[in-house]
A = this chain, B = another copy of it.
Amino acid sequence: MDVVSIDPRTGEAVEVVAQETTTAEVDRLCAAALAAAPALEALGRTGRAGLLHALADGLEARREDVVAVADRETGLGTTRLNGELTRTTYQLQLFAEVLEEGSYLEATIDHAGATPMGPRPDLRRMLVPIGPVAVFGASNFPLAFSVPGGDTASALAAGNPVVVKAHGSHPATSQLVFQILVEAARGAGAPDGTLGIVHGVQAGADLVAHPAIRAVGFTGSVNGGKALLAIIEERPDPIPFFGELSSLNPVVVTPQAAGERGAQIGGELVGSFTLGAGQFCTKPGLAFVPSGPEGDAVVSAMAEAVRGTTAQILLNEGIATSYGRGAADLAELPGVETVAVGTRGDDAGFRATPLLLTTSAAELPHEVTEELFGPVSVVARYDDEKELFSALDAMPSSLTATVLRGEGETELPLAVSQELRTRAGRIVYDGYPTGVAVSWAQHHGGPWPSTNSQHTSVGTSAIRRFLRPVTWQGAPQEVLPAELTDDYQGIPRRVDGVLQLPR
């Protein structure tokens, strides 16, 4: 079947990019990935760091082409897409740094010795590549969470071949960047089979069922994640699945913050929930704002900002349909009021009009705690801290939770973040959850439904998803990986319980 690239600004099909990948072709790609694994690992940390730099350089060299195709196909705009490409090349380079630094191997040596349980043999532990990884591209990050995104970068860095399931929302972008990466990888000495790409829903299902695939990285909906998990459970050998699934991202505005800078907060909140047309997994979907005049200032500023918006381009028809229905359903809930709507504008393509709703924290409808992609947010007004904490206690887990506090205020912010810490992976103070920096200390995850594991999909520790520990017992030096041999000094290691820096 044809894989068609659609222009979201018009809703029209622009070109046939490829054919849906057949089961036989998926099989061939997975076999090639499996065959490539030893040579990719054998490149070593230095060789793979070089590979990552080459991929970044390859993308950079074709920046204009990539951004143009992605803009035509996603409607995200060239500013955003240029930023996203920068993010993508940056994270390839950062994982090269991770490889060079070497802590990620968790190299650990316990020499043979006496213990209260008797003699202990020589034990040496290190993380090794898990094997070929299936990566599912996300609709909302055509560059940073798709063919060349964080999952691909971390899986390759770990030493694993990657087969990407291209998202149906941007097949032309996927094909172009795939070709760029394949060429760059070849130039950097990576084996054939290091990268593969498939198109189509059935091909994605075939991929996660394939015996050669050893782990899955997925960014998408809860239902999509559950469907893949169901396929994995049918495997004779279920494999690790790392899903980033759904997130409400509650925001709490304290009374002091509202009093001090309510209007500013209101404008910034709208900026955050309409960023990328509200299609970020970190979009603040629910904001707790105090009742009374201070809170009114926040809501007025939000309303004004929303009224100043016009309809935004959504990524695809599915998101547009779901937004239209979902926003209308929310607006009709008992106790929910529509405060402001953006200008509807042109009707062509997949568009969403920004929408601001309010309700009471004391009688929060369950529906407002569910993620909805698109430029809508709900403000829940709270009368006092009891009402606030009782509402927070009913929050689902999210990738983020945000506290906007007053100057020097600590008591309430601390209490709020303690309450939300059990149900969020990142606590943001005096900022907004959209914008997820790629760094060593980043975490992008949280209890279900944010993710289905304790691992992150953004930041350097994302690499750990695609590694598994192996311990060598009583092994002669000749058969050990270099990093575990006695004389190796290039990376941090734990020796007999003591962490040692490289000399």
- Min CB distance, A161 to chain B, in Å? 13
Known contacts A443-B469, A454-B467, A470-B443; A429/B501 CB under 8 A: no
Cross-chain contact of A437 among B89, B123, B130 (Cβ < 8 A): B123
* A476–B429 touching, CB < 8 Å: yes
The size bracket of the interface on A is 35 or more
Contact code string A456-469 (vs B, CB < 8 Å = 1, else 0): 10010100000111
By a CB distance below 8 angstroms, the chain B residues around A81 are none
**A87 is an interface residue with CB less than 8 A from chain B:** yes
Residues of B within 8 A of A130 (CB): 454
List residues of chain B with CB within 8 A of the CB of A10. Answer: none
Answer whether residue A427 sits at the interface, using C-beta atoms and an 8 A cutoff. yes
Known contacts A103-B499, A237-B447, A501-B499; A470/B425 CB under 8 A:
yes
Known: A117-B83, A468-B454. A101 touches B437 (CB 8 A): no
Residues of chain B contacted by A497 (CB below 8 angstroms): 97, 101, 440
Chain A 119-161 interface residues, beta-carbon cutoff 8 Å to B: 120-121, 123-125, 128, 130-131
Report whether B427 and A471 are in contact in the complex, using a CB–CB cutoff of 8 Å: yes
Q: Give bound CA distance, A456 to B469, whole Å.
A: 8
A499, B110: Cα distance in complex, Å: 21
Closest partner residue, chain B, to A236 (CB atom): B448
Residues of chain B within 8 A of A473, CB atoms compared = 426-429, 431
Are A427 and B116 also in contact (CB < 8 A) when A131-B422, A238-B452 are?
no
Interface stretch (choices A194-202, A268-276, A318-326, A409-417)? A409-417
A414 CB to nearest B CB, Å = 4
Once bound together, how far apart are the Cα atoms of A246 and B90, in whole Å?
A: 42
Which among B106, B110, B237, B443 is the interface contact of A125 at CB below 8 angstroms?
B443
9 smallest A-B Cβ distances: which pairs?
A443-B471, A123-B441, A125-B441, A108-B441, A237-B448, A110-B441, A443-B469, A454-B468, A429-B474
Subset of 8 A-B contacts with CB under 8 Å: A115-B439, A123-B437, A125-B440, A238-B448, A417-B475, A424-B470, A427-B471, A431-B473
If A115-B439, A123-B441 are given as contacts, then 14 extra A-B residue pairs at C-beta distance below 8 Å, sorted by A number, are A90-B116, A97-B497, A108-B441, A125-B440, A214-B447, A237-B449, A238-B452, A410-B476, A417-B472, A427-B473, A429-B475, A429-B479, A447-B468, A501-B501
